Amino acid sequence: MLRQLAPLPLALALLTPSPAEAAPPAQTASPAQAAPPGLTDWLDVQGSALHAGYQPNAGLLGAPRHRSWSTPDRPSRSPLAVDGSLYYPESTTITRRTFAGARQPFAPDARAAFWIGQPVSDGTSLYALFFDRYGHAELRALTLTGRPRWKVQIPGDNTGDNTATADGQVLTTTGQACTYTCAASVIHSYSTTTGAERWHQTIKGEAAFDRPTITPTRVLWPTSQPLTALEAATPETAAARPVFETTAARTSGATGEATAAPASGAIGGATVAVEADAAFQAHAVAATGAASAARDVPSGWRLTALEATTGAEAWHATGPGSLRGTAADTTTVYTAADQLCARALTDGTVRWCRTDRPYDTVAVAPTAVYATTAGHLLSLDPADGHILWDAPTGSDPIHPPVITGGMVLLHHDAGEQSALLALSAQDGHRLSETNLGHGLPGMLTVAAGYVFAVHDYTGLVAVRP
């Protein structure tokens, strides 16, 4: 059963017919040069399940300046780059192209009755949710030519477009037959080899439309939820000051008992509060239908960290407003919301927080954290969050930056057009800005000497140095 507020792809699919066979990509002049060897796989939104947006060597010879080819395809999600091919969903099917733009065969089995969610890949297969008109979802594993390997019906209702894969498992979620914001969601982990369920876990909040971040030890799942009574009554909340909660649940191997320990180390005046579980239960009811109560309590976010191998909850963090971005490396998870915070993956301990302004997106490279906020791109020191450089962008990008080859790339609004902006990762000076024409700026994919920029639902542009 679909909720009354359908996700954007569902709403647009009702208005947009399935795309016909696209015309050959429009070719424009570009320098005659072969792409140097480089990493060619871009397996998930922002490159991998870490969502870091970092690709050390995508084969770019310099700043991207020239439109190499474009296509009128209507990508509804971010392209993947896997084993020499691009893959992206268009309404009810998946399109496969070479990096140079030529269409490649893809099995007709890879079709959905209504729409297809964002594919993800482990480098050898594709995994995606296939939806019918009633919102029921089937998780399918496909070969790189589109042939089915296995499929499993996702139990329950309210499945969202949020598949992710890493370390032999593919994950998705369902709600619990709720109409608006779910008070709880069920995370499902399936084997990439057989499709058999490995574990499932119920977490608090609405997880349907937020993508998980996966590290070797943690599955980090953002959810929307009402604030607890404790947070709603806190004076700092009423005064529009950010109020954050972080608790670390440590399980004793001898007794199996979990204890909650408040995190420490926040800087910049962040308030640490301990959640009252009973208060959450009371306000969770408001999220499932008591509209008047929901209006009285502002919405908030929760980040639940699960053990990657078992699904057991390790720790969680909450805050007011919305969680607009999450990215991780192997030791730290970074969250962009009313504050930008860095937390230890092991127990959620707050390493640092920037409380100077709201943050929109975040990406992570080995030597810097990059965040967008109020028309600026910031480079931050991962150790303590201090600003390394601050570059004005002129707009607020919806999607996070991509870091590759010593550059930071942004797809952003430029008046009535969109543009690909390239900045130096070292000091933030502008290297190039390429007009990409009309369209909503979408996600970026970098591979084999190209930057692929999506205009959401209207086209795809390939840019070369």
pLDDT tens, residue by residue, 345-403: 999 999 999 999 999 999 999 999 999 999 999 999 999 999 999 999 988 888 999 99
How far apart, in whole angstroms, are the C-alpha atoms of residue 444 and residue 424? 17
pLDDT score for 304: 96
The two structure tokens encoding residue 167: 């370390």
Distances (CA, A) of 460 to 8, 12, 126, 148, 439: 19, 18, 20, 26, 10
pLDDT confidence bin for 110, thresholds 50/70/90: low
Q: What's the mean per-residue pLDDT of the chain?
A: 78
The pTM score is: 0.79
DSSP 353-369: EE-SS---EEEEETTEE
Write down the CATH number for the domain with range 34-77+359-465: 2.40.128.630
3-class SS at 251?
A: strand
Which residues sit opposite 350 in a β-bridge?
343
Per-residue pLDDT tens digits for 8-22: 444 444 444 443 333
6 pLDDT higher than 60: no
DSSP state of 103: B
Mean pLDDT value of segment 423-440: 92
pLDDT score for 225: 75
How far apart, in whole angstroms, are the C-alpha atoms of residue 280 and residue 273? 14
Per-residue pLDDT tens digits for 301-351: 999 999 999 999 999 999 988 899 999 999 999 999 999 999 999 999 999
How far apart, in whole angstroms, are the C-alpha atoms of residue 98 and residue 105? 10
The domains of the chain are located at 34-77+359-465
Mean pLDDT value of segment 201-223: 91
116 pLDDT higher than 70: yes
pLDDT score for 189: 96
